[in-house]
Structure 1
Amino acid sequence: MQHPEVVDPAHPLVERVRAICLAYPESVEVEAWGRPTFRAGKKIFIMVSASMDRPFSIVFKPDSDERGPYLQDGRFFSPPYWGPGGWLATDLDQPGTDWTELGEIIDTSYRQVALVRQIKALDAAGGRNGPQRLV
């Protein structure tokens, strides 16, 4: 069964997330559930659109130590389906969106699911400063 498209994959906000995510070693984009997902090999590290009501958001996997502080910040929320697994989400279309912070969030999420060889390739390419240049 084909899921309806939740967000336009050509929207500038999605394009910006795509540029950051696809700069990571072995990252690929796969459409799933009507949404762009970005994967480190086979494992999702970013999904665009937490819900139909919030199409311009990303779902990410925070470091376990950061989850609590994020939840105390009103910009972050527990997304449907993914939240019980420790994932969080944040909107992309809010005034004053901090793309440097989003880049750091994407980096952390990638590192949570990437294989050791992917992280080594990232670190060899300059680590956080590699894909971060795109923010």
Structure 2
Amino acid sequence: MAHPPRFDENDPYLRELRSVALDLPAAEEKISHGHPVFYTKKIFAIFGAVVKGDHASDECAQSVVFLPDAIERDALVQDERFFVPGYYGPSGWLGLNFRVSEPDWQEVAELVEMSYRNTAIKTLVRQLDAMR
């Protein structure tokens, strides 16, 4: 059984996140488990998250889920905008809830790029470095 869509195609936060994520080398988008996900060989960002055990909640529907550097993770979770997402959290992923405060898109771009660097193959990271 396919997962129902858990996002609005016209969401302005999704539009901005797409702009950030799809600007990275070889980045693509697909729908997985009802959410837009951005990936190369592996996922590096997800639009929206669910609360583990409460899939009906839309509390984190407008957020980005990303894999931070381990050294950054503890500092990020101290900020009320960040949360540990269901299912991805035990693997070190965090979410940034766009509903808590209006997102700083430069910060979002830095977080998405960090996640990209933590998941992409080395040749893509070198391409990214050459772009910067």
Shared topology, TM-score over 0.5?
A: yes
Residue 100 of structure 1, CA deviation: 1.2
In structure 2, the residue matched to 1:23 is: 23
In structure 1, stretches of 5+ residues that fail to align are 127-135
SS in structure 2 of the partner of residue 36 of structure 1:
strand
What percentage of aligned pairs have identical amino acids? 38
Contact 1:9–1:36 (Cα < 8 Å) also in 2:
no
Residue 9 of structure 1, CA deviation: 2.6
Contact 1:49–1:58 (Cα < 8 Å) also in 2:
yes
In structure 1, the residue matched to 2:45 is: 46
* TM-score computed with the length of structure 1 as normaliser: 0.88
Identify which of 103, 125, 133 aligns with 2:131.
125
Contact 2:81–2:98 (Cα < 8 Å) also in 1:
no
How many equivalent residue pairs?
125
Over the aligned positions, Cα root-mean-square deviation in angstroms equals: 1.1
In structure 1, the residue matched to 2:111 is: 105
Residue 97 of structure 1, CA deviation: 2.1
2-side partners of 1:116 and 1:95: how far apart?
Answer: 34
Residue 91 of structure 1, CA deviation: 1.0
In structure 2, the residue matched to 1:4 is: 4
Residue 94 of structure 1, CA deviation: 3.5
Residue 112 of structure 1, CA deviation: 0.3
* TM-score computed with the length of structure 2 as normaliser: 0.90
1-side partners of 2:82 and 2:14: how far apart?
Answer: 18
SS in structure 2 of the partner of residue 89 of structure 1:
strand
Q: What amino acid does structure 1 have at the position aligned with 2:68?
A: P
In structure 2, the residue matched to 1:79 is: 85
